[in-house]
Amino acid sequence: MTAAERNIALYPWFRFTQNLLFWQAVWFLYFQNSLSAAEAILLYAVYDLATTILEVPSGWMSDRLGRRITLISAAVASVVACLLLALGGTFWVFVAGQVALGAAAALTSGTDTALLYESLEEAGQTDRVEAEELRAWRFGFSGLALSAVIGGAMSLWSFAVPFLASAVAYAVMLVIALRFTEPRHHRDDLAQGGEWARFASLKAAFVNPVLIWLLGLAVLMYGFSHIPFVFGQPFIQNALQSLGLAAEAPLVSGAVVTAMMLISVLFSLVAEKVRRAIGLAGILLFALGLQIGIIAVLAASKSVLAIAVLFLRMVPDSFSTAFILARTQRELSDDSRATYMSFKSLAARILFAASLWLAAGAASDVGLMSHAQMQPILAAYAGVGLIALIALAVASRFIAIDPRSSLGPENPGG
């Protein structure tokens, strides 16, 4: 087996260990149990901002220093993050852990898939890139689904245990990263002033009506997708408390996360049919509307039955992510593609983090976040979302969102 072939064989296992997030179903419960609801919200904002700030520098590191050293650094940061979070104690220890976790996410983002593609290229197997990416996605999804329910069960013993378990998984990820070999690169140095020319080429993207519409939609959907993630755990705990089952919240939360992943995959199987039936703008607006509807239900009811709506949290992503990416790529030029995508991610993260800072001001300074405290926050998010949905729907009537609208098979009368 050549070095490149070994990279290809190890890559799915890297993704599997990377996604063993045993803490994913209990992180908010752990934070607010150790600190307060307001600080728990702020800690998520810290993670999001750390990922955002470090995203561009980590990309530079990957391009300049190499894929292998960047992934090794990501694994080390992951281990350190989980150990700090398991240690806990004070708000600033948690902040350090969240910053390290954000650094790990930034270091991995893009570098992992670059290593796979360049290894396939070196092995002369670029025709297998889709098959290998799909295989790695399945490994990663299996890790997420498996660790969610197991982590929820672990937390019944101690909230710190899922973080320790993830630290062990990340240590295995580090061993795998150490076994990677740096693939050969094919990179031409930019001419003097080339980077400024690259930024200048973005001008067309920022005045393109289609890209403006898609950017607004993508930024909003990023935030609305994460709101149930942030508030879902305290919502579950509040709902179960009315039945005297609050202690079972971690286990239920893990089961909910696993269920939402499986359900989203099932809905993704019909996404293309829905897109053909109602058009690109139709399915994207439907996805945004579903996100807003989920938030509105959580705001309106604290019943244990409302927990079921969280099963649908990832369904809007199944109906939108791939279509937004594909349509956006059609409008971008090669020399500004990555820069534009980085800007979109930056805008989404900053806007959502800013909204969390505002939400934290309405949360309790101590103890459990009650549904009465969540209700105005969730209602405000739903209200803003409804206004944005109406604005995007009206704008879509004047913008050619769907490039197929002028094609014969999609519009026989056009």
Pick 195-402's CATH classification: 1.20.1250.20, 3.40.50.360, 1.20.120.530, 2.40.30.10. Answer: 1.20.1250.20
Burial code of 273-304, b = ≥16 C-beta within 10 A, e = fewer? ebbeeebbbbbbbbbbebbbbbbbbbbebbeb
Query: Burial of 182 by CB count in 10 Å (0-12 exposed, 13-18 middle, 19+ buried)?
Result: middle
Q: Profile the chain (414 residues) by mean pLDDT over runs of 10 residues.
A: 88 92 80 77 82 77 81 95 89 92 86 80 75 72 80 80 93 95 63 50 78 93 87 75 65 74 78 87 95 92 78 85 72 59 76 82 60 85 95 92 52 33
**pLDDT recorded at residue 409:** 36
Angle made by CA atoms 5, 10, 13, in degrees to the nearest 5: 155
Burial code of 201-225, b = ≥16 C-beta within 10 A, e = fewer? bbeebeebebbebbbebbbbbbbbb
Q: Could you tell me the two tokens for 61?
A: 């590191």
| Domain ranges within the chain, ordered by starting residue | 1-182, 195-402
Distances (CA, A) of 76 to 80, 106, 176: 6, 13, 12
Topology of domain 1-182, per CATH?
Answer: Growth Hormone; Chain: A; (1.20.1250)
Q: Which residues contact 218 (CB under 8 A, 6 or more apart)?
A: 324, 328, 344, 348
**pLDDT recorded at residue 173:** 95
E strands present in 189-303: none
Asked if 49 and 102 count as a contact pair (C-beta separation under 8 A), the reply is yes
Q: Letter for the amino acid at 344?
A: K
Nearest alpha carbon to residue 297 among 382, 219, 356, 222: 382
**pLDDT recorded at residue 332:** 66
First-to-last C-alpha distance (Å) of the chain: 55
Taking each helix axis from N to C terminus, what angle separates 209-241 and 271-300, rounded to the nearest 10 degrees?
50
